[in-house]
Amino acid sequence: MTPNTDNIGASTVDLNQQLFDRAKTIIPGGVNSPVRAFRAVGGTPRFVQRAQGAHFWDANAKRYIDYIGSWGPMILGHGHPAVVDAVQRAVTEGFSYGAPTEREIDLAQAIIDLVPSIEMVRLVSSGTEAAMSAIRLARGATGRSKFIKFEGCYHGHADALLVKAGSGLATFGNPTSAGVPPEVVQHTLVLEYNNLTQLEEAFALHGAELACVMIEPIAGNMNFVRASVPFMKRCRELCTQHGALLVFDEVMTGFRVALGGAQSIYAKHIPGFAPDISVLGKVIGGGMPLAAFGGRRSVMEMLAPLGPVYQAGTLSGNPVATACGLATLQEISRPGFFDTLASHTRELVDGLKAAANACGVPFSADSEGGMFGFFLLPQLPQNYATVMTSDGPRFNRLFHGLLDRGVYIAPALYEAGFVSAAHSTDDIAQTVAAAREVFEAL
């Protein structure tokens, strides 16, 4: 296969390396978010110069088929005309006001219209901020301190959420980052994802003290692992029984796996299913810094200025970000959008699996809407411990083999991938052909 490049005749000097060397002298690790540093896979990060549709070009003018899409937001692809137009018009009106705008109401209404469990919503600027605020709201609404999260689920880098499992079920989590005092995470209980027995025992021990259960319905930071329907059903039942709130972290899955988010998928299998609070991000900003959390009116009215739970943000509801997000939601709401997106994503996943099988490489994969994941394992894992058994060195060879051929997937074994509406059948065919070449050499 011919590498997917547009840099015929370009200099042999690696400008990515030059930029990385420069960045490392003034930015910790040379990057502003750790996974970008390529520490997990080795090599030099690609510094993006521009992007359009399903592709981006690095500092060497090499073109890549992009399966990260800013880690999910670019569901329409880069530079969608309707979104660009909306942003350009918003920019001419002002960058930020620190005062309310009509567009904030329009975006909030669009979210409420598309997600039935949300009756009121608060806009913020990042997924971390939204998740942190949702935990505070759950604690304020219930008057309780403890909460459950699951190992392998990522909810941003707030102190109480940077936690790994303790040594036993009755032991609360231990910090996973320096700078997080043990007493800050003493109320965080970390359980194994999809483990019904642990879930039952945790509620039996701590049910009266739990403010909430926070869960990614499809965990995208241990690649792509779904919560089983029985597990999710029991989460809902136990929260209701014990007076805890069920918090759905849909920063990654919201408007990415389905128009109503992952919760709409579970609602098809569990009659009456709905979370109490939903955390949203990525797609609702269309690539701009924007996130949200929302839920039942009775819960959301606990927020200041109506209630005692304080939360604020200078740039919340930013007028340029809301223009970008609203235009994105309008485009993905068009009839048939998600059917087509899901079909293209399955085409990619099925193609990769067929290529791996043909080369005798253990491989399993799954997808929903425009989100996918794969493992160099014979069966899909159900929890973080199984994900950790993946063949890291083999994945690194796959990553670099694809990168050399102009295909950009996540530079880490534990990250999901994303297909956009801009990915063509030809893009997918090129990707599968490149993967088969690499599989043959693994």
Angle among Cα 312, 317, 322 to the nearest 5 degrees reads 160
Lookup: tokens for 276 = 């109490």
Tokens representing 110 are: 């669009």
- Catalytic: 24? no
Please report, to the nearest 10 degrees, the dihedral formed by the alpha carbons of residues 154, 158, 160, 165 taken in order: 30
Tell the burial category of 207 from Cβ atoms under 10 Å away from its Cβ (0-12, 13-18, 19+): middle
All residues at 6 or more sequence positions from 54 whose CB lies less than 8 Å from its CB, including other chains: 65, 66, 77, 78, 420, 422, 423, 424, 427
Examine the residue annotation and report whether 249 is marked as an active-site residue of this protein. Answer: yes
In angstroms, the CA 275 to CA 267 distance is 10
Which residue in the list 154, 266, 408, 414 is annotated as catalytic? Answer: 154
Given the residues 66, 249, 276, 366, the one annotated as active site: 249
Whether 282 sits among the annotated catalytic residues: the reply is: yes
- Asked if the peptide bond before residue 393 counts as cis, ω within 30 degrees of 0, the response is no
**Cα–Cα distance measured from residue 366 to residue 345, given in angstroms and rounded to the nearest whole number:** 9
Angstrom distance (rounded) from CA 63 to CA 135: 41
Question: Considering 282, 408, 414, 427, which one is annotated as catalytic?
Answer: 282
Tell me how far apart the alpha carbons of residues 327 and 188 are, in angstroms, rounded to a whole number: 38
Length of the chain: 442
Rounded to whole angstroms, how far apart are CA atoms 187 and 210? 9
**Residue 320 to residue 97: CA distance in whole angstroms:** 11
Nearest-angstrom CA–CA distance, 198 and 389: 21
Nearest CA to 60 out of 25, 31, 19 is that of 19
Question: Which residues are part of the catalytic machinery?
Answer: 154, 249, 282
